[in-house]
A and B are shown apart, each in its own frame.
Chain A
């Protein structure tokens, strides 16, 4: 008991000294003057932001429509690409555990660890600014997310129908079509809706790096320090996110 108490004490000591070390390294280049100044800055900023410039609202409708399209088409492309990858990655359906599965898993990890904003940054450099870069960025980011959750669902399906079908001499594709797909369909729809919801949220800021949508207006307003427009755009984004969350919850309830 004595030993355990000492162990805990040392664990805490280690944690706190490690935290202090990280803190020191992080704030090495911090200008503390700016930080002490923050309350005045906050007051100043609030004064400049309010009231929001409501007359700017009509110009936001077209970018907002673009944003919704980026998210929806991007999600569609993403789930279409993720579907086969999930089957290649699942232990039970992959053609080869040694060769195909690691490649599919690498695609999933690479897609998941790079945020859609970074994908957009790359794609704008490659394809030029515009909606297309945003759509592909959203699609690339969605592949990993959907495929990961889907292949876990595939690995968890009830194997009895699979065995029954293979006993009738069904081909692999027929087994997938008749035994596996009916079992994973509800989770597939759930995952896709969830991702669509996240994508709406993420596509609102893709414009910051030039990939179209309402973020483009945000970037433009920020660069000329038009704070009344910035706060209006943030409010519109906020409303869109809440609306999409409510909508996806409704659809999920209706279908599942």
Chain B
């Protein structure tokens, strides 16, 4: 008798479990979609508006609200640059403290605690509180982005330091170098190239986030965008979105070049 070859299933080889999972999955989908209350008339109306938005994307209007767009852009750009700069400076001590191979136990615990708080709090929620404390405007946004940047960069720096080659570290220590000298001669040369790339990446993230936290009142291009959409000025909104996309694209391009130049 001839037997044909059947490809085995990759994830769950047993047919019984596979069927059970499918049934659970479909049950979940039915229950979950039941809670979406759809108003078809509203959606149909939406299609017409959606079409207007697509049309606006093809004819973006940069001129009518140019002064708003310009000041929003300048606020966003300066906010993301300053917060990245301060964030980098502050993330270095925190990151070094959070690296288990060169830090002491108590400082390690403290720094890790700070990092996990900073990473699990979302920018928008932090921005809501900081706007309540510091008032509307760019300063609250600057603090929000700095706070998020410290957690992000310190975690990656700590991981880089923990992953370095041990040999140079031991060699430099054996010469009787002080802690700062070890840092300078054994660790910095190993982590610097990767770090520069991560800093540029964070600048990119901060710019994108600055567009979001404006919605809750922390200044920047997000505020301009929010106003444009609330006034149903889709052509101005499309102009803002296209500018954001262009700047993110540029950022990615430039950071690729800079990284090549540094490494």
Contact = CB atoms under 8 A, between A and B. Distances in A.
B38 interface: yes
A204 B53 CA distance: 26
A31 B36 contact: no
A204 B82 contact: no
B78 interface: yes
Q: Chain B contact residues: over half helix, strand or loop, or mixed? A: helix
Which of A66, A135, A178, A234 has the most chain B CB atoms closer than 10 A to its own CB? A234
A35 B215 contact: no
Given A26-B138, A38-B133, A113-B249, A125 B49 contact: yes
A132 B43 contact: yes
Interface in B88-146: 120-122, 124-125, 128-129, 132-135, 137-139, 142
Contacts of A31: 135, 137
Interface in A18-42: 18-19, 22-23, 25-27, 29-31, 34-35, 38, 41-42
Q: Chain A contact residues: over half helix, strand or loop, or mixed? A: helix
Contacts of A109: 245, 248-249, 252
Given A34-B134, A35-B139, A208 B237 contact: no
A38 B122 CA distance: 21
A113 B142 contact: no
Interface residues of B, number: 60
Given A31-B137, A45-B132, A131 B35 contact: yes
Contact of B212 (A23, A118, A135, A255): A118
17 contacts: A19-B85, A22-B81, A23-B82, A26-B142, A35-B134, A41-B132, A69-B36, A72-B28, A122-B53, A126-B49, A128-B39, A131-B35, A182-B10, A189-B11, A205-B125, A208-B124, A237-B122
Interface of B: 7, 10-11, 28-29, 32-33, 35-39, 42-43, 45-46, 49-50, 53, 74-75, 77-79, 81-82, 85, 120-122, 124-125, 128-129, 132-135, 137-139, 142, 208-209, 211-212, 215-216, 222, 225-226, 229, 232, 237, 241, 244-245, 248-249, 252
